[in-house]
Amino acid sequence: MIKPYHETAHGVLYHADCLTVMAEMAEKSVDLVLTSPPYDNLREYGEGKGYAFTFSEFKCIADIIERLLVERGICVWIVSDAVICGSETGSSFRQALYFKDIGMNLNDTMIWVKPSFTFPESVRYPQVFEYMFILSKGRVRCFNPIKDRKNKYGTCFGKNTSRNAAGKRIELKKNKTQDYGIRYNVWDVNTVGQYGSKVANDHPAAFPANLAGDHIASWSHPQDLILDPFAGSGTTAIACIKTNRRYILIEKEEKYCEIAARRIDSELDQTDIFRGEA
């Protein structure tokens, strides 16, 4: 196995191509895959050159992900599409459908609404979201729904009636809704002020730690193993440490590995201070 670039009690970070590392991992060893690939070459890798993430390479990665996931394991695939020659590429849909072709279920198509857009469009509305495909190897093994949606009607409502033994209609105690209900599948998550944003902003496409943390909390259990094959600035590891999960990160660009390692060390230092272990 390739030697880790960075290692802690919570997990490992590899500086390598994800296909190389994943090919050496044990079958059915991963509980959850959480990642955002370099879709449509929108990220810059090495010397400012676009990384050619082809559909052929995607298929190889998807095939290995399916092999590595435990039965009923889940993959959270966060993607978007570039606009080329006046048309969106549709790569996100092709990828989701390929996962289905290899036997995985498309459990949910979620939306991440971002707070801003890169540049105005003259012929279409500004793009402010990304897809978050929730793919499962069979029926999902775990779902811990986040309940932070304030219910509009949080008080007693309606009348419940029944009849007693004598046939007289009586009014029963009114029902009361819960103050908060399950969050919808459209998540409005701000990237401004996210944990570690100062170092994370050195990466062109870092997603927020709370976005990663909410997915990890939703689709896994404590001590589960989480894999991010396109680790970038290490946000998945930060979320794993915060939620008591284990992680395997893979990143091919060393400058991003450096950022991820610094963020992980900083998070662990803060955790030690919180626990009084510093």
Could you read off the pLDDT of 31-70 as tens digits, one per residue? 999 999 987 765 555 545 555 689 999 999 999 999 999 9
pLDDT in tens, 110-131: 999 987 776 777 898 988 999 9
Write phi, then psi, for 130 (nearest 5 degrees).
Answer: -130, 155
pTM: 0.85
pLDDT in tens, 237-269: 999 999 999 999 999 999 999 999 999 999 999
Between 231 and 116, name the one with better pLDDT: 231
Question: Average pLDDT, stretch 166-194?
Answer: 77
> Is 30 within 8 Å of 69 (Cβ atoms)?
yes
What is the per-residue pLDDT for 271?
A: 73
What is the per-residue pLDDT for 278?
A: 47
What is the per-residue pLDDT for 202?
A: 59
> How many whole angstroms separate alpha carbon 192 and alpha carbon 200?
11
pLDDT band of 152, cuts 50, 70, 90: confident
Q: What is the dihedral of CA 213, 216, 222, 225, to 10 degrees?
A: -120
What is the per-residue pLDDT for 16?
A: 97
In degrees, rounded to 5, the angle at the alpha carbon of residue 238 between the alpha carbons of residues 233 and 242 is: 170
| CATH classification (class only), 6-146+183-275 | alpha beta
Residue limits of CATH 3.40.50.150 in the chain: 6-146+183-275
What is the per-residue pLDDT for 174?
A: 61
**Which residue, among 243, 250, 232, 241, has the nearest Cα to 270 in the 3D structure?**
241
Q: What is the distance in angstroms between the CA of the first residue and the CA of the last residue of the chain? A: 33
H or E stretch at 168: none
> Is 226 within 8 Å of 236 (Cβ atoms)?
yes
* % residues pLDDT > 90 (the chain): 65
Question: At residue 102, does pLDDT exceed 80?
Answer: yes
What is the per-residue pLDDT for 203?
A: 53
Write phi, then psi, for 246 (nearest 5 degrees).
Answer: -95, 155
> How many whole angstroms separate alpha carbon 13 and alpha carbon 26?
17
Between 79 and 118, name the one with better pLDDT: 79
Question: At residue 199, does pLDDT exceed 60?
Answer: no
Question: At residue 22, does pLDDT exceed 80?
Answer: yes
What is the per-residue pLDDT for 195?
A: 46
> How many whole angstroms separate alpha carbon 200 and alpha carbon 112?
18
> How many whole angstroms separate alpha carbon 1 and alpha carbon 274?
34
**Which residue, among 108, 128, 17, has the nearest Cα to 64 in the 3D structure?**
17
* Residue 238, CA distances (Å) to 46, 79, 81, 85 in order: 24, 20, 26, 38
pLDDT band of 158, cuts 50, 70, 90: low
pLDDT band of 149, cuts 50, 70, 90: very high
> How many whole angstroms separate alpha carbon 153 and alpha carbon 33?
37
